[in-house]
Amino acid sequence: MAITRRELITGIAKAGVPAAVAVTAGSQTLQAETIPVPSAAVGLLYDATICIGCKACVSACAEANDTLPDTRVDQLHQAPTDLNDLTRNVIKLYKAEDGSAFSFVKRQCMQCLDPACAAGCPFQALHKDPESGIVTWTADKCIGCRYCTITCPYHIPRFQWQGYNPRVTKCELCSSRLEKGLKPGCTSVCPTGAVIFGPRPVLLLEAKKRIQANPGRYYQNRVYGETDNGGTQALYLSHVPFEKLGLPELGPESVPAKTLRWQRRLYQYFALPALLYAGLVQVIRKNLTGHEHDALEREKETGLRAQL
Amino acid sequence: MSSAATNVTRDSNRWERAVPVYGFPVVNGFFISLSVLVLIALVLTAYRELAGLGPVSGMNDAYGWGIWKTFNVMVMTALGSGAFAVGIAAWVFRRKRLHALMRMALLTSFLAYACGLLLLGIDAGRPWNFYWIVFPWKWNMHSPLAEVAICMSIYAMIPLAVENIPPVLERLWYFDSRLRPGVEKIEKRLHYFYPYIIAAAYLLPGMHQSSLGALMLLAGERVHPLWQTPWLPLLYLGAATFMSFGCVAGTTMLCCLVWKRGMDMEVLDEAAQITAWLIYGWLGLRFLDIMFRGALGTAFHFDRFAGVFWIEVLSISVGAWLLQQSLKTHDKRAMFLGYVLSSAGGMIYRFSPTTLAFRPNPEALYFPATIEILVSLGFISLGVVGFLLAVKRFAILPAPLHEWHDMASYFRFRRPYIRWTGYFKFGYFGEDEPKPTSGD
């Protein structure tokens, strides 16, 4: 009737161990954790050392995306203080406390090679295009859970807090303009060329050329986004530490690869859960028979109908 | 049959049978005030659907998740994991005494999950897109949130709902003898599928309770190092197990106290022992993890995170200590307090990574708005209202055997004008009704 503990353990071991080994060993080859760079990855290169903070890109962005200007701060100027439901692109200013250094920074979606927002999005509303690598938001798939606002290490996607039909706002590299052969709004108006648009490898070369031409000018002589967070398609050059510009040091491994490794392995092909389920069914089937037997005996004793 | 009724030893407190709470009206002051809260919440929900989340809540760009998700879902479903934790102890590890608590566990779980899921739907900004849930190829299989949303709704709608059917069928069985063949047929069919349903009822919560922890993994360093760990899924699952034991056993004790039922200390002792061991294991894992990650130093900083951490840890360990003490002294008060403290500590733990210990940026602030709190309270009240209705109309709460016979005589002699109660029609209890004499 009731199985012994030994039987339980050996039963689980007999079925479970080979399968578990197969899944874990197999998943290393199946779930390649190297991030493929999209074939035609496009991106932005922003150089903080030549940005003059004119904010032409901010208004050009709103115009290109057909968004109302965000005049909520002073009811007059388009002067968003941060990214928000009307602002996909913003210029912010960093000033060191002792006044020794300052820098503008342009914040928009980094178009990560392995985006955390898309990794967390339950129904693939945020999706990375396999060719251009642009991360786009699809209204028809979004349930408005705001998990993207929690997961994005750069805190880019913003949720619309007003209204019955809220949307998620993030830079999509003006993908509708790209289709028409135009450049993204921000890069088409930048007067100093602080932000330029192009294929990611070309931008990376250009950035390295600038570093070589001006050794010591750039922080750590390094392009932010080359490997950071698994690599991003928006690349940054700066003379102040990247962390001061809101670009955290995340290491070369992308956030989803770093944190969801075990989650991804355990649910690989649903093999382990299925195995566990089969084991549970066996154990419960045996215990249920014993329990029913006991209940029927009590029924005879008390004369009251058994309650299972 | 009646001999069984007279042979019962009245001083035995052994829980033998689930008996509805009788002799107490369903509608009383408490019930009415809860219903008012539910109504307020429903009206405010309508307002929220029209106005959006901003005007009704304190959520902002930095704190994208408010108490609807972080308290009503993350914390309340942990309390409502009784069907998972108590069920595994009873069905898989064959702690047979715990079967007495199973109906309470199943009911509290169902209500906690149902109310949490309702609020999850209200919290979602674009809930009409939930229909994607029926197309598995549209799921993002590796998203913890997809796992939670899909797994939780399947769990609440299928295994939990089905496991709660037997008390309803039982009431139908007693209600009218003509229904009995049909009810017995359904029960037989149900028993055939039971192993598959029960196994799913343990697998699914195991998956989504751990995935609730995995949700905050992606938030990285924005969660304070005392909480952010690769072991977050396991710790979340562990917290759910001891919190749900506390919820089930504690609620049962409270009900016994309020409705004057005998308490079976054998069952409660076993539950308390298991809870204490679960807590020791959990605390051990928690401290080992913090030490090996080298985050123990941050626990001695003088800031709110360290404060929350120590309140949580102390309340859980004092709770475990009280539970352990109550096993020796058989002090019900200490046991109840132990359950309350350990569950409260667990609630703080489950609430922390998303809210108390979540630091998106230094200047960000979140405090729930009044409407947000009212809606949250309203949906908890909805669960309590459902619970009160269920225990007073169905055989949920465990009781000594004599309680069943007391119920019969109560309705037969004290309330003869009540024609039927569902369980006792015209004074009969359980036995077959006499055949009507033909011709008369």
Contacts of B139 in chain A (CB under 8 A): 122-124
How many Cβ pairs closer than 8 A exist between chain A and B? 207
Structure tokens at B208: 């989504």
Please give the full DSSP string across A33-96, using - where no structure is assigned: -SPPPPTT-EEEEEETTT-----HHHHHHHHHTT-----TTTSSS---SS-BTTBS-EEEEEE-
Distance CA A155, CA B39 (A): 37
Interface probe, candidates B1, B61, B191, B366, chain A, greatest A C-beta count within 10 A: B61
For A304, the closest of B138, B211, B430 (CB atoms) is: B430
Distance CA B387, CA B107 (A): 7
Q: Is the pLDDT of residue B371 over 60?
A: yes
pLDDT in tens, A57-100: 999 999 999 999 999 988 898 989 999 999 999 999 999 989 88
Residue of A nearest to B146 (CA): A122
Residue labelled with tokens 């307090």? B337
Predicted local confidence at residue B330, as pLDDT = 87
Cα distances (Å, whole numbers) of residue A14 to A5, A17, A66, A272, B202: 14, 6, 62, 14, 21
The separation between CA B344 and the C-alpha centre of its own chain, rounded to angstroms, equals 14
Question: Domain span at residue A162?
Answer: 42-253
Cα distances (Å, whole numbers) of residue B133 to A270, B127, B206: 17, 11, 20
Mean pLDDT (whole number) for B357-380: 93
Task: Say if the Cβ atoms of A160 and B191 lie within 8 Å.
Answer: no
Lowest-confidence range among A47-61, A294-308, B58-72, B231-245? A294-308
Inform me whether the C-beta atom of residue A294 falls under 8 Å from chain B C-beta atoms.
Answer: yes
Cα distances (Å, whole numbers) of residue A232 to A42, A154, A176: 10, 11, 21
pLDDT in tens, B101-118: 999 999 999 999 999 999
Task: Say if the Cβ atoms of A123 and B138 lie within 8 Å.
Answer: yes
Mean pLDDT (whole number) for B2-27: 75
Inform me whether the C-beta atom of residue A25 falls under 8 Å from chain B C-beta atoms.
Answer: no
- Which span out of A86-100, A289-303, B32-46 was modeled with the highest average pLDDT? B32-46
Residue of A nearest to B138 (CA): A123
Q: Do both A18 and A148 map to the same domain? A: no
- Confidence category of residue A302, pLDDT binned at 50, 70, 90: confident
Distance CA B59, CA A226 (A): 34
Who contacts B126 (Cβ-Cβ below 8 Å, separation ≥6)? Answer: A139, A142, A143, A144, A165, A166
Structural fold of domain B15-399: Formate dehydrogenase/DMSO reductase fold (1.20.1630)
A37 within some domain? no
Q: What kind and span of H or E run contains A177?
A: helix A175-179
A169 within some domain? yes
Q: Do both A122 and A217 map to the same domain? A: yes
Instruction: Provide the residue ranges of all domains of chain B, joining segments of one domain with +.
Output: 15-399
Predicted local confidence at residue B4, as pLDDT = 47
Sign of torsion, CA A248 A251 A256 A262? negative
Number of compact structural domains in chain A: 2
pLDDT in tens, B177-202: 788 899 999 999 999 999 999 999 99
CATH classification at residue A167: 3.30.70.20
Distance CA B255, CA A263 (A): 39
Q: Is the pLDDT of residue B224 over 60?
A: yes
Predicted local confidence at residue B397, as pLDDT = 95
pLDDT in tens, A123-180: 999 999 999 999 999 999 999 999 999 999 999 999 999 999 999 999 999 999 999 9
Percent of chain A with pLDDT strictly greater than 90 = 70
Q: Is the pLDDT of residue B434 over 60?
A: no
- Confidence category of residue B228, pLDDT binned at 50, 70, 90: very high
Predicted local confidence at residue B363, as pLDDT = 83
- Confidence category of residue A24, pLDDT binned at 50, 70, 90: low
Contacts of A307 in chain B (CB under 8 A): 17-18, 103, 166, 170, 395
Q: Is the pLDDT of residue A31 over 70?
A: no
For B360, the closest of A155, A281, A291 (CB atoms) is: A155
pLDDT in tens, B126-156: 999 999 888 888 888 889 999 999 999 999 9
| Radius of gyration for the alpha carbons in chain A, expressed in angstroms and rounded | 27
pLDDT in tens, A129-141: 999 999 999 999 9
Distance CA A266, CA B122 (A): 31
Mean residue pLDDT across chain B: 90
Residues within 8 A of B (CB atoms), A 63-92 only:
82-84
| Radius of gyration for the alpha carbons in chain B, expressed in angstroms and rounded | 23
Among the listed residues A21, A31, A35, the one whose alpha carbon sits nearest the alpha carbon of residue A269: A31
Predicted local confidence at residue B165, as pLDDT = 95
Percent of chain A with pLDDT strictly greater than 70 = 89
Distance from CA of A159 to the nearest CA of B (A): 7
Task: Say if the Cβ atoms of B218 and A139 lie within 8 Å.
Answer: no
pLDDT in tens, B278-313: 999 999 999 999 999 999 999 999 999 999 999 999
Q: Is the pLDDT of residue A264 over 60?
A: yes
A168 within some domain? yes
Distance CA A17, CA A1 (A): 25
Mean pLDDT (whole number) for B375-403: 95
A258 within some domain? no
Distance CA B437, CA B98 (A): 45
Task: Say if the Cβ atoms of B61 and A256 lie within 8 Å.
Answer: no
Predicted local confidence at residue B425, as pLDDT = 57
Task: Say if the Cβ atoms of A123 and B129 lie within 8 Å.
Answer: yes
Predicted local confidence at residue A59, as pLDDT = 94
Residue labelled with tokens 């750039």? A218
